[in-house]
Structures are given as C-alpha cells and as structure tokens.
C-alpha cells in the first residue's frame, strides 16, 4: 500500500476499509485490517466503528456482536449510532435478550437514545408480534420528549396493517397531520389495496380515523 515513501495513516485505512465493506469484500477488509495492525498504527474508535458497520452491512452480525462485546469488555465506548446498529444486529440473529439489555444500558453508557434507537426497538418488537410491547416503547419515546419521524410512523402503520391490527394502526394514523408526519405513497397504496376489497379489512375500516373511510369507494 505505501507509495514513494508515503505511509498510510488511520484516515487512509479507514477510507479503504469502508470502501471494501461497501463493496461486500469482507475478506479483503479483514486482510487490510490485519495489515494495519502489523504496521503498528493504533486502531481508533472510528476504525472499529467502520468495521462494525461493515460487518453488519454484509450480514456478519454475529461476528460484529462478538467484536462489539469484546471491545466493551475493555471499556471501549461507542456513539449511539453504533449502539443502534448493534441492537438491530442482535435482533437479526435472535439474541433478543442481549438487545434488550443493551438498550437498557444506554443511559449508563452516558448516551441518550434517539428516534432511531426507539425505531429499531419498535420495529423489531413488531416483527416478533409483540404489539403491546412495541406500543409501550413508542409511548416511552414520546414521554422522553422524542418526536417520531414520518418514516417511523409509516413503518409502524404498515406493519400493523399487515398483521391485521387495524384498530392499533388507526391510533397511529391519527398522528398523521400532513405537516411533520405524512403518509408515504407505499403506505397509501397498501391501504388502498387492503380496504378497497370486501372482507375483514373493509368491515373494520370503521376502526380508522373518519378521514380514511373513503377507501371502500375504490372497490
């Protein structure tokens, strides 16, 4: 890698590692990291962050979790973005209790959960069918003063509708104000598909806010 006497530094290795992971070349990235270690360059938190994100991006979640936990054992501290990524990775590989424990330990790490943190927890709880737990997590987010994003609201509505949780979806639809929070095209398309044909969904359309009671006209 050195050229004409120039030697790569931490920034150089970081750029190359990030590029390799983005290209899906995890084996080459690991070789590059080994090369970096051999040169004696100190590994910064930013480098470890690139590696953790890269591993998760390439579905090497268990490997990322193990590295994250090993680094935590020697008191390496990461920012909330990495914590969010690791919580999601733990859910992906069914290490749900570890994800729950990591979420609970955020404050002790001197960090503050953000809308992405809560979003990761809520979406994964919904994937597991834990609708009430997801709703309680959402209420906890609101109580902490965090404003939900339009993207999160749309994801929640979509997942609830797909699970047949129409009344609960209606509660989140009532948060759509057309200003800070708007329905995305994909959400509207799903609602049109579900409520425009006869059956359970059309019968339960009355559980939605009144302004959404027109979908049956498209049947």
Q: pTM of the entire structure?
A: 0.88
Span 78-94, pLDDT tens digits: 999 999 999 999 999 99
Q: Is 95 helix (H, G, I), strand (E, B) or coil?
A: coil
**Is 187 or 203 the better-scoring residue by pLDDT?**
187
Q: For the chain, where are the alpha helices, taking DSSP H only?
A: 10-22, 26-39, 45-57, 61-73, 80-92, 96-104, 115-127, 131-143, 150-162, 166-173, 185-195, 200-203
* pLDDT score of 217: 66
Span 147-176, pLDDT tens digits: 999 999 999 999 999 999 999 999 999 999
> CA triplet 174, 176, 178: central angle to 5 degrees?
140
CA-based radius of gyration for the chain: 22
């Amino acid at each position: 890698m050195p050229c004409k006497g120039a030697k790569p530094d931490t920034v150089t290795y970081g750029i190359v590692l990030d590029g390799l992971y983005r290209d899906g070349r995890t084996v080459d990235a690991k070789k590059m990291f080994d090369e970096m270690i051999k040169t004696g360059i100190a590994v910064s938190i930013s480098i470890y962050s690139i590696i953790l994100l890269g591993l998760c991006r390439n579905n090497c979640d268990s490997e990322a979790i193990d590295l994250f936990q090993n680094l935590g054992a020697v008191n390496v501290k990461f920012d909330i973005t990495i914590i969010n990524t690791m919580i999601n990775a733990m859910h992906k590989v069914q290490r749900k209790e570890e994800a729950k424990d990591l979420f609970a330990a955020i404050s002790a790490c001197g960090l503050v959960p953000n809308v992405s943190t809560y979003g990761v927890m809520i979406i994964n709880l919904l994937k597991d069918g834990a609708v009430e737990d997801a709703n309680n997590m959402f209420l906890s987010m609101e109580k902490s003063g965090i404003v939900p994003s339009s993207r999160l609201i749309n994801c929640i509505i979509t997942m609830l509708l797909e699970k047949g949780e129409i009344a609960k979806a209606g509660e989140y639809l009532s948060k759509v104000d057309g200003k800070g929070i708007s329905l995305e095209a994909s959400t509207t398309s799903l609602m049109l598909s579900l409520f425009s044909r006869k059956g359970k969904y059309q019968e339960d359309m009355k559980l939605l806010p009144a302004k959404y009671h027109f979908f049956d006209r498209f049947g």
